[in-house]
């Protein structure tokens, strides 16, 4: 008995996202059950194949919980997700987040090009986006994404900064455009608004394209 509760306490301490009465593995298993209704849009194991529906696989649990809470309390606005989040309790959110954090994100399919020009255009876009991701734009004070989202776009778990790697470019463009316009502003600090507002639409497209090609890394 003593041993068991010690293990629980330790698991809770390490992950920060386990409720008192459950082990991490129990939470993940429960989360799998609770996420059945998410599959139609977010895909099997959170690997959505539709460009407007974000992949949730391997996303940081803390970030996922924050977003679900924000959909529920209306600070992040999306009509579909508002209705869905309304039906989830705090424990549901934790279990579902632990489940998705435990999955492996699938890479985006290789791009198919009709011509050498098209391929060259794509490669230029990826190079420009990679430069912005790593270095930002000092003159215009666009912060380097790497500082918060990490060298492999794996995010930052303790800070609940999201992983971005292998996410659909279409969804990334939408997210950045929503930050830019102020439509998405569910955190007090509003860091992403301050950054996106300085980006041109071309830069948004370039960086989103680059991030979508970043592949899975163990982290």
Nearer Cβ to ligand HEC (11/176): 176
If the CB atoms of residues 5 and 200 are measured against ligand HEC, the closer one turns out to be: 200
**Closer residue to ligand HEC in complex, CB, 37/124:** 37
Output the smallest distance, CB 4 to ligand HEC, in A. 29
> Which is closer to ligand HEC, CB of 5 or CB of 124?
124
Q: How far is the CB of 26 from ligand HEC (least distance, A)?
A: 18
Chain positions contacting ligand HEC, by CB under 6 A: 35, 37-38, 40-42, 52-54, 56, 64, 66-68, 78, 80-81, 84, 96, 132, 142-143, 145, 147-149, 161-162, 164, 172, 174-176, 186-187, 191-192, 195, 207
Sign of CA dihedral 140, 170, 177, 102: negative
Buried b (16+ CB within 10 A) or exposed e, 88-124: beeebbbbbbbbbbbbebbebeeeeeeeeeeeeeeee
183, 103 Cβ separation under 8 angstroms: no
Q: Which residue has the tokens 């391997």?
A: 58
How far is the C-alpha of 41 from the C-alpha of 93, rounded, in Å?
17
Of the pair 7, 52, the CB lying nearest ligand HEC is at 52
Least distance from C-beta 52 to ligand HEC, angstroms? 6
Of 30 and 67, nearer to ligand HEC (C-beta) is: 67
Residue 129: partners with Cβ closer than 8 Å, 6 or more residues away: 203, 205, 206, 207, 208, 209, 210, 211
User: Are 58 and 101 a contacting pair, CB within 8 Å?
Assistant: yes
Counting Cα atoms < 13 Å in the Cβ hemisphere of 190 gives 13
Q: Give me the least distance between CB of 25 and ligand HEC, in Å please.
A: 19
- How many angstroms separate the CA atoms of 123 and 81, rounded? 34
Least distance in angstroms from the C-beta of 11 to ligand HEC: 22
Q: Cα torsion at 149, 201, 121, 210 (round to 10°)?
A: 10
- Residue entry with tokens 């950045």: 176
We find the least distance from the C-beta atom of residue 111 to ligand HEC, in angstroms, to be 19
């Amino acid at each position: 008995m003593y041993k068991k509760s010690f293990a629980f306490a330790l698991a809770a301490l390490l992950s920060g996202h386990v409720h008192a009465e459950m082990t991490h593995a129990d939470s993940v298993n429960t989360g799998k059950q609770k996420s059945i209704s998410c599959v139609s849009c977010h895909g099997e194991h959170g690997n959505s194949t539709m460009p407007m529906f974000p992949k949730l696989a391997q996303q940081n649990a803390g970030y996922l919980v924050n977003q679900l809470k924000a959909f529920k309390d209306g600070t992040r606005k999306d009509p579909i997700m508002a209705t869905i989040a309304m039906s989830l309790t705090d424990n549901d959110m934790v279990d579902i987040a632990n489940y998705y954090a435990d999955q492996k994100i699938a890479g985006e399919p290789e791009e198919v090009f009709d011509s050498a020009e098209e391929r060259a255009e794509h490669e230029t876009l990826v190079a420009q986006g990679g430069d912005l991701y790593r270095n930002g734009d000092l003159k215009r004070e666009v912060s380097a994404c790497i500082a918060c989202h990490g060298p492999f776009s794996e995010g930052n778990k303790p800070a609940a900064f999201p992983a971005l790697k292998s996410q659909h470019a279409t969804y990334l463009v939408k997210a950045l455009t929503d930050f830019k316009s102020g439509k998405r502003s569910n955190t007090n600090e509003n860091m992403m608004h301050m950054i996106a507002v300085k980006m041109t639409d071309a830069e948004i497209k370039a960086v989103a394209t680059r991030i979508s090609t970043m592949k899975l890394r163990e982290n």
